[in-house]
């Protein structure tokens, strides 16, 4: 037996545990205990953990309505793929108040891919692909389902393009959602665009980097940074390029005013990552029945807590369905319940595992 390798392995595990604690403050302070129980009796395993919290995501309720998607033919800066057509958004949905931040991304995924163009908890996450963004949405959905907070029949997702533009415009029909336009061709490119300045970070004011979310003026529905800062992935394929390009909207700190208009459309390969691409999440019904069953009381803005502790108990290595509380109780012990138990505690994208304890069956008294 190579004792040097064993010692190094144990040192590595200890160092990893120290990193988890340093980044999240996550630790187990009371471990579960071995249990002995007779068949038919009641037994409870419990754990006590602590970790940093306070990270949340603001979601804005967007009411159903009608709007005209695209841009008029006389809009300065218009591209040919912005044909106008009337749209009916017949189901309400929620959309992130801000672009997903680096702290929020790390809380769900466990790492921060952003490098070199603005790094900090309140900066938008970038260097994320469409696949990364949809993975975030799937994990956020699972997180909220486990916590029992997700409305029935709803899931977190990237917004469809039509929903993105509907929410961006917030009732406006102009190039920008503050009711203004680009007023000359040279403002499309290198000259400053004064009408865009109040609502967007773009090359003429960004100093070559993205900026913390929420510093510019919001639109009429309370959404920030729908213009500029980082491009935002949408769920859809770019028309005519199915299986090749996904849509992005909103422009970025590194793209001129023409690209930041409400109707402007961009695209990227699903696995492409770059310094100008991020995303925001929507919470949408998975069917019309889901929306029709949503109570009026639920149709309001809310916060998603991301920095809280979550738990998952396991029996002999298998996940115990529904066992997501600090305590796990078996109401009537059966022979199949004997074995090893432990709990995985998650916080801010990190996790720790409790001691493995054993349930031993005893003879009935």
> pLDDT digit string (tens) for 258-317?
999 999 999 999 999 999 999 999 999 988 788 888 889 899 999 998 877 889 999 999
Count the domains in the chain.
2
Question: In CATH, what number is assigned to the domain containing residue 320?
Answer: 2.60.40.10
- Do 148 and 34 lie in one domain? The reply is no
Q: What percent of the chain has pLDDT over 70?
A: 92
Q: How far is CA 81 from the centre of its chain?
A: 29
- Do 259 and 347 lie in one domain? The reply is no
Question: What pLDDT digit, counting tens, does each position of 187-238 carry?
Answer: 999 899 999 999 999 999 999 999 999 999 999 999 999 999 999 999 999 9
Cα dist. 317→31, 157, 192, 356 in Å? 17, 31, 60, 10
- Do 112 and 20 lie in one domain? The reply is no
Q: What is the mean pLDDT of residues 321-349?
A: 92
Three state DSSP letters for 145-157: HHHCCCCCCEEEE
Residue scoring higher pLDDT (286 or 172):
172
- Do 299 and 317 lie in one domain? The reply is no
Q: Which domain holds residue 164?
A: 56-305
- Do 235 and 288 lie in one domain? The reply is yes
Residue 65: the pLDDT is: 97
- Do 74 and 16 lie in one domain? The reply is no
Beta strands in 188-325 (DSSP E): 231-237, 246-249, 265-268, 277-278, 282-285, 302-305, 310-315, 318-319
Q: Burial, 207: exposed, middle or buried (Cβ in 10 Å; 0-12, 13-18, 19+)?
A: exposed
Residue 12 confidence class, pLDDT cut points 50, 70, 90: very low
- Do 280 and 148 lie in one domain? The reply is yes
pLDDT higher than 60, residue 51: yes
Question: In CATH, what number is assigned to the domain containing residue 240?
Answer: 3.90.1580.10
Helix, strand or coil for residue 229?
Answer: coil
**pLDDT-wise least confident of 3-7, 73-77, 240-244:** 3-7
Query: What is the H or E stretch that residue 36 is in?
Result: strand 35-38
**Tokens standing for residue 365:** 């008294």
Residue 215: how many CB atoms within 10 A of its CB? 11
CB 127 within 8 A of CB 268: no
- Do 46 and 95 lie in one domain? The reply is no
Last residue of a domain, one of 287, 305, 323: 305
Distance CA 222, CA 332 (A): 51
pLDDT higher than 90, residue 6: no
Last residue of a domain, one of 290, 305, 320: 305
Residues, the chain: 365
Distance CA 213, CA 211 (A): 6
Q: Give every CB contact of residue 336 below 8 A, 6+ residues apart in sequence.
A: none
Residue 4 confidence class, pLDDT cut points 50, 70, 90: very low
- Do 219 and 156 lie in one domain? The reply is yes
Q: What is the pTM of this model?
A: 0.77
- Do 101 and 221 lie in one domain? The reply is yes
CA-CA-CA-CA dihedral for 194, 221, 58, 218, to nearest 10: 10
- Do 218 and 292 lie in one domain? The reply is yes
Last residue of a domain, one of 266, 289, 305: 305
Residue scoring higher pLDDT (200 or 8):
200
- Do 225 and 317 lie in one domain? The reply is no
CB 248 within 8 A of CB 267: yes
């Amino acid at each position: 037996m190579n004792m040097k390798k064993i010692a190094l392995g144990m040192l590595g595990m200890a160092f990893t545990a120290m990193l988890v604690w340093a980044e999240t403050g996550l630790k187990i302070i009371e471990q579960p205990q071995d249990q002995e129980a007779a068949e038919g009796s009641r037994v409870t395993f419990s754990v006590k953990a602590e970790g940093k919290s306070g990270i949340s995501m603001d979601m804005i309720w967007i009411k159903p309505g009608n709007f005209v998607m695209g841009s008029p033919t006389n809009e300065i800066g218009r591209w040919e793929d912005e044909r106008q057509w009337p749209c009916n958004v017949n189901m309400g949905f929620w959309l992130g108040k801000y672009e997903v931040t680096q702290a929020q991304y790390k809380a769900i995924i466990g790492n921060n891919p952003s490098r070199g163009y603005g790094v900090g908890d309140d900066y938008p996450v970038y260097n994320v692909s469409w696949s990364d963004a949809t993975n975030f949405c799937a994990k956020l959905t699972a997180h909220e389902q486990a916590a029992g907070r997700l409305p029935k029949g709803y899931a977190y997702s990237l917004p469809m393009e039509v929903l993105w533009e509907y929410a961006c415009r917030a009732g406006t029909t102009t190039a920008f959602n503050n009711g203004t336009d680009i007023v000359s061709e040279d403002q499309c490119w290198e000259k400053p665009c004064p009408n865009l300045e109040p609502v967007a970070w773009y090359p003429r004011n960004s100093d070559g980097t993205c900026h913390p979310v929420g510093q510019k003026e919001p639109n009429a529905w309370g959404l920030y940074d729908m213009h500029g800062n980082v491009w935002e992935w949408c769920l859809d394929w770019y028309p005519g390029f199915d299986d090749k390009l996904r849509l992005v909207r909103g422009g970025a700190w590194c793209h001129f005013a023409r690209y930041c208009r409400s109707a402007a459309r961009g695209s990227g390969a699903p696995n492409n990552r770059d310094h100008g691409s991020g995303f925001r999440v929507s919470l949408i019904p998975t069917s019309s029945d889901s929306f029709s069953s949503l109570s009026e009381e639920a149709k309001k803005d809310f916060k998603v807590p991301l920095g809280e502790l979550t738990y998952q108990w396991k029996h002999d290595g298998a996940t115990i369905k529904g066992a997501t509380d600090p305590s796990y109780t078996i109401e009537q012990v059966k022979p199949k319940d004997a074995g090893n138990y432990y709990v995985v505690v998650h916080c801010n994208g990190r996790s720790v595992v409790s001691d493995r304890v054993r349930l031993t069956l005893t003879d009935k008294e």
